[in-house]
Structure 1
Amino acid sequence: MGTALVTGASAGLGLEFAWQLATAKHDVVLVARDEERLTRLAAQLEAAAGVHAEVLVADLTRDEDVARVAERLRDPERPVGLLVNNAGLGLGKPFVGNDIDAEVKALDVMVRAVLVLSHAAAGAMVERGRGAILNVGSIAALMASGTYSAHKAWVRSFTESLAVELKGTGVTATVVNPGFTHTEFHERGQIDMSSFPELVWLNAEDVVAAALADVRRGVVISTPSARYRTVSAIVRTLPRSAVRRIGKYRRPMDETAAPDA
């Protein structure tokens, strides 16, 4: 697969994707806003795995930064074989009453950036006749839990549609739909998850390993762990009225604005 580009690579699932891809001897392009974290990670990956790690600092809420990442994906001299659209943003507040600028930023990161970067990657990959796009969705895509569910539902539907369009080109599209996973995401989004038992939690290493294995097999919808495959199957059979009743917004840990994930 050659080089993999990972957005949101400085923390959470993105960090785990970077490590697993590097240890599998893929060169990596690391995309996130935090230059210090990215530079430190790149040095660690190069020293530990012996691969080339490129740092690409970008804020995916900014059109010009998304355009720079898209240009990197289109570069014919430095082909990217795998795009991992992982970057996410935790708002920690309900839509009604939240700052609309924060809502638009979340949409930009989890929808617009996925659209633009997938377009750039797919075009370049189809020309070469090989490649893969992995979009990080969520089991929340099947729920009715605020705009995060809405964004992830779009990611799921978009990836399925893209997979149909790419059939026969040598390029694949996969959406991974993890459940609750131990990362920095909820803490940085100031979302209180303390009421959830340990049973519902996955670890990032297993989620990423399952996602990458499904990419290699050309699976379109990847749902790590038997428990969440069961949950997914049950939710899909429920009337949407029942899904709406169980949808629940998680209150933030405090009243300060939630930072980007």
Structure 2
Amino acid sequence: MARALVTGSTSGLGLEFAWQLAGTGHDLVLVSRDEDRLRAVSAQIRDVHRVEVEVLPADLSDREELEQVAIRLTDPVDRVDLLVNNAGYGLRGGFLEVGIEDHEKQLDTLMRAVLVLSHAAARTMVQRRRGAILNVSSLAGYTTAGPYAASKSWVTVFTESLAMELEGTGVSATALLPGFVQTEFHERAGMAMDGLPRITWLKAPYVVEQALKDTAKGTVLSIPSVKYRTAGEVSRIAPRPLVRALTSPDWYRRMRARSVQRSRRSASRRNLRAPWQRDDDA
């Protein structure tokens, strides 16, 4: 039976990856910082799908803990056939509003962990001439929306380079580039996204299903949905001054301000009472 290791596996896309992989018979190694939540998720998956679920608590921004995950990937007996580098998070505030230590920790999770774990997995998989690496990137990597976007740009280019190096080895590398996905990611980062139209959002099960299909086919760049494949191409070839104007952190702050204004107007309308409504009727 195949085994997959998933980082950031207790929420968002990582949790969806865990459930879908278990549903197709994969044994799992689940990695997350939150040990209590990790064990709860693993117990639920075991009960439903009857697969083996190993838990590996680790903060991937911590080099010693990251190394333990890398070592797990090289185990010659309980082999990992699929690595899903999914762990990541956003920061509240702009580049200058956040302490440099927080930026460094975020980049260690978003970039260094991907580098280290991909290296460990690829070297081991190449020896067996079998395996796959799926790195969760983002279409944000085509934008200028701060350090997070820059890190996702790195993940995409790194994965493309790795895929070329792995050609002919029996091992593949895929980068998943979703757009806006309905998870708690934006809420955790303090991003007010209610100003975006409903059509903008993708559902996590669909994104994960498409990513796993593309990984099985050896597709290098997995971009779920036609609308986001089109958006990705436009962003990639558009003049950079235009991209900067449309996707800079200032754009996000303007969108958030409009969202706050709409929320206030909505709340104000809810508080209006009919002229005949008395105080004791409220």
1:2 paired to 2:2? yes
1:72 paired to 2:39? no
1:221 paired to 2:217? no
* Unpaired segments ≥5 residues, structure 1: 254-261
Q: What is the deviation of 1:237?
A: 2.0
Contact between 2:3 and 2:82, CA under 8 Å: does it hold in 1? yes
Q: What's the TM-score once normalised by structure 2's chain length?
A: 0.88
1:170 paired to 2:166? no
Query: What is the root-mean-square deviation of aligned Cα atoms in Å?
Result: 1.2
Q: What is the deviation of 1:20?
A: 0.2
AA paired with 1:155? Answer: V
Partner in structure 2 of residue 257 of structure 1: none
Q: Cα deviation per residue 1:66-123 (whole Å; 9 max; x = unaligned)? A: 0000000011111100000000011021112321011001100000000000000001
> For residues 237 and 70 of structure 1, what CA distance do their matches in structure 2 show?
36
Q: Secondary structure at the match of 1:28?
A: strand
Partner in structure 2 of residue 126 of structure 1: 126
> For residues 2 and 237 of structure 2, what CA distance do their matches in structure 1 show?
40
Q: Secondary structure at the match of 1:80?
A: coil
Partner in structure 1 of residue 105 of structure 2: 105
Alignment of 1:200-239 (within 5 A): 200-239=200-239
Q: Cα deviation per residue 1:164-190 (whole Å; 9 max; x = unaligned)? A: 000000000000000000001001111
Alignment of 1:160-199 (within 5 A): 160-199=160-199
> For residues 40 and 120 of structure 1, what CA distance do their matches in structure 2 show?
28
Q: What is the deviation of 1:241?
A: 1.3
1:153 paired to 2:149? no
Contact between 2:4 and 2:27, CA under 8 Å: does it hold in 1? yes
> For residues 56 and 98 of structure 1, what CA distance do their matches in structure 2 show?
29
Q: Secondary structure at the match of 2:193?
A: coil
Partner in structure 1 of residue 87 of structure 2: 87
Contact between 2:143 and 2:248, CA under 8 Å: does it hold in 1? no
- Percentage of identical aligned residues: 53
Q: What is the deviation of 1:152?
A: 0.1
> For residues 36 and 149 of structure 2, what CA distance do their matches in structure 1 show?
31
Q: What is the deviation of 1:240?
A: 1.0
Q: What is the deviation of 1:215?
A: 0.3
> For residues 75 and 52 of structure 1, what CA distance do their matches in structure 2 show?
16
Q: What's the TM-score once normalised by structure 1's chain length?
A: 0.95
AA paired with 2:199? Answer: L
1:63 paired to 2:84? no
Runs of 4+ in 1 over 3 A off after TM superposition: 250-253
1:53 paired to 2:33? no
AA paired with 1:173? Answer: A
> For residues 79 and 202 of structure 1, what CA distance do their matches in structure 2 show?
33
1:16 paired to 2:45? no
Aligned residues, how many?
Answer: 253
> For residues 237 and 29 of structure 2, what CA distance do their matches in structure 1 show?
40
> For residues 159 and 124 of structure 2, what CA distance do their matches in structure 1 show?
17
AA paired with 1:7? Answer: T
1:116 paired to 2:116? yes
> For residues 197 and 24 of structure 1, what CA distance do their matches in structure 2 show?
33
> For residues 146 and 188 of structure 1, what CA distance do their matches in structure 2 show?
17
> For residues 161 and 11 of structure 2, what CA distance do their matches in structure 1 show?
29
> For residues 199 and 33 of structure 1, what CA distance do their matches in structure 2 show?
33
